[in-house]
Structure 1
Amino acid sequence: MGQLNAVLLHCRGGFEKECAAEITERCASVGVYGYPQFEPSQGYVIFKCYQPGDAEQLMQSLPFERLIFTRQWFACLPQISDLPTGDRVTPMLEWARQLPQAAELMVEVADTTEGRELQGFARKFGSALSQGLRREGLLLPRKQRSDWRWHLFVLDGKTFWFGATRVRNSSPLAMGIRRLKFPKDAPSRSTLKLEEAWLHFLRGKQQQEKLVPGMTAVDLGAAPGGWTWQLVRKDMHVIAVDNGPMNDDLMETGQVEHRREDAFTFAPPKPVDWLVCDVVDKPVRVTELMLQWALNGWCREAMFNLKLPMKKRFDEVESCLAHLEEQLHLAGVGYRLQAKQLYHDREEITCWLSLTS
């Protein structure tokens, strides 16, 4: 196996600094050390490990779900550059011999304007490379299971990052992006945030168990109703809390009760199954609000966004989530907490808090 001495991490453009800070800290927690490299708004970070083989170790020892600002990742060989334009496939076959066996090749670009312009070339080259790899027996048959998946990151027609990731410890999506179609009858595009959050956090049977028709929910900061629309779509009964107007079609469903109240002072008449919150306010204030709901037993599940400041965004996230966990632990409340900057998020992250007792 070759020297997988670096890790490539996809992220949202403009959040490279946060992605770099996070991976540096998480790596240190599992005994892997190195340094990040990135340019502003390039849509990815390269983390160079000091010790050979540490990148492969990282794929096994650091849970991918702990990474908030990373959409996708893989351990990679040294950057491949200056491939001959006449035959790029043959040299890549030799590089492939240095990777752990895999049955799938995922071809990716950066989520930037420049990256999107490369998608046509990336698809064609990826198809030709896959055929060459299978012809040489380097890529396992499609139906054969493998612990690893190969990734080819295209920088331009001659420059690539080539590597592998653990199938069970990475995103199943190319570039970690879940593309959703905007429902034409939804009140706002923010509806896609909650849909993506459910698809990302609730795996397998969890969706059937936690999104049951007839459940009750509260939507804080609901107007005009993008998140309420998703709750109604799941046949839930919703209290929409916002001083602003709600979408007329939503109100006509008979499943929504509109309370013109302040999201930070509202208390539900009785506990509900779901709390969702996309309130625009300081993350520390929203964190305290979520903590209030959790400690009072007002909900069983909560999906909420933390709007991030312009500076020290990673530090703010770490502080808010640590405070939330500390207070729940001190109160003896059982919980599961996950957070991610999803594709449909912007200057924010989405958090799922599931209360178990």
Structure 2
Amino acid sequence: MRHALLFYCRAGFENDCRQEWEARSGQTGGWESEPGFALFKPGKGGEADPNPPEPKELIFARQTLHVLADVQLGEKDRLTPILDALKSSKISAFNGVWLEHPDSDAGKPLSGFTRRFTDIVEKALNERNLIDPKARFRLHLFFPSMTRALVCSVDPEVAASPWLMGIPRVRMPSEAPSRSTLKLSEAFMTLVPDADQLLKSGMTGVDLGAAPGGWTFQLVARGLKVFAVDNGPMKGDMAIHPHVKHMREDGFKYKPQHPVDWLVCDMVEQPARIAQLIAKWLASGTARHAVFNLKLPMKKRWAEIERCFELIDQTMNAAHVRYALTAKHLYHDREEVTCYLTRLKAPRR
């Protein structure tokens, strides 16, 4: 299993993980997938990168791990085969251990087992001096079933999601008018570096397709004054909040009187049309930062993402604007990906 890679993903998107990895890495090989994960085994012509790219660079993978061993487990003794596999590893110690399972219907029954088994594994590793808080790598034990464990490692400082199973825990605010608010909350946690510094009280924002106000809520909660653009009604506090101005206009035609700090958009529309719209806002300087969703087709999702990113690149380059673009298939996303686009400062001459 040397140089194999394990990708966690949403169930049903395993093939998208494969297409993205092969497109970005240029590597091909054998693949094994079940709902919630994809396992890549490089072909004879090449090896997978032993230092996987940062999670933010891969859209469909929640976590990317280097596989050390694929272990078959006994029904009575699951610990010994794992410890034997670690003896063969070139890694002398780990800074911690996470036990995980697929985020799928088949994987849910394993959650209780991984919680109970964690204390047993940690005790055994400590007894063998395999846990050192100063060690570079973290140990991941991924259980596709009760009889199999993928023993994996990752450098938490370089290439790891900081959340168990790659899933951030986001609490649903009781005041929010819709559950879509969780997507923008997760996007700020996952995609926006230094979000607390970039989202400050007194800033201005525009929410295209705002109704009923789930995304507007996230901006207002951070102190922004928001122009909520939608022909539909706002609900709850977002309909009466003093920092929200409801503009009953078409999101594709609306333009603010002055540039704004933030643009967010969760409109149900063709992804290419959304990509062009957002890029025009930032290329013209009408907004500095944007978080938006691309609603993907059922087939050829990766091809559609590449098409949208190319449209954004063409628009930004035509305006001679430096930019950064990241995207992620968030836990709270469904048939969509969430993107963060920001203007960068021009380099000094």
Q: TM-score range by the shorter chain?
A: over 0.9
SS at match of 1:262: coil
Separation in 2 of the partners of 1:86 and 1:257? 63
The corresponding residue for 1:122 is 114
1:153-211, CA deviations, whole angstroms, 9 ceiling, x for partnerless residues?
112222111111121211011111012121111000000001110011233xx223201
The corresponding residue for 2:84 is 94
> CA 1:53–1:318 in 2, change beyond 3 Å: closer, same or farther?
closer
Question: Identity over aligned residues, as a percent?
Answer: 41
Match of 1:343 among 327, 331, 335: 331
Deviation at 1:235, TM superposition (A): 1.2
Match of 1:182 among 163, 172, 178: 172
SS at match of 1:169: coil
Separation in 1 of the partners of 2:113 and 2:309? 41
SS at match of 2:145: coil
Separation in 2 of the partners of 1:18 and 1:271? 37
The corresponding residue for 1:279 is 267
Query: Which structure carries more helix by proportion?
Result: 1
The corresponding residue for 1:296 is 284
Separation in 2 of the partners of 1:185 and 1:228? 12
- Contact 2:177/2:236 (<8 A) preserved: no
The corresponding residue for 1:67 is 58
The corresponding residue for 1:50 is 43
Separation in 1 of the partners of 2:163 and 2:45? 28
- Contact 2:259/2:285 (<8 A) preserved: yes
SS at match of 1:77: strand
Say if 2:298 is the partner of 1:310. Answer: yes
1:244-292, CA deviations, whole angstroms, 9 ceiling, x for partnerless residues?
0011422322111111110011111110000000000000010111121
- Paired AA for residue 262 in structure 1: D
The corresponding residue for 2:98 is 106
Say if 2:31 is the partner of 1:18. Answer: no
Separation in 2 of the partners of 1:52 and 1:321? 30
> Where do 5+ consecutive residues of structure 2 fail to align?
none
Deviation at 1:36, TM superposition (A): 2.4
The corresponding residue for 1:198 is 188
Separation in 1 of the partners of 2:105 and 2:169? 17
SS at match of 2:297: coil
> Where do 5+ consecutive residues of structure 1 fail to align?
none
- Paired AA for residue 317 in structure 2: H
Correspondence 1:318-357 to 2 at 5 A: 318-357=306-345
Match of 1:252 among 226, 236, 240: 240
Say if 2:32 is the partner of 1:37. Answer: yes
> CA 1:52–1:80 in 2, change beyond 3 Å: closer, same or farther?
farther
- Number of residues of Structure 1 aligned to a counterpart in Structure 2: 342
Deviation at 1:25, TM superposition (A): 1.9
- Paired AA for residue 32 in structure 2: Q
Say if 2:223 is the partner of 1:235. Answer: yes
Between 1:247-256 and 1:174-183, the stretch displaced more is: 247-256
TM-score by length of 2: 0.93
SS at match of 1:38: strand
- Paired AA for residue 17 in structure 2: C
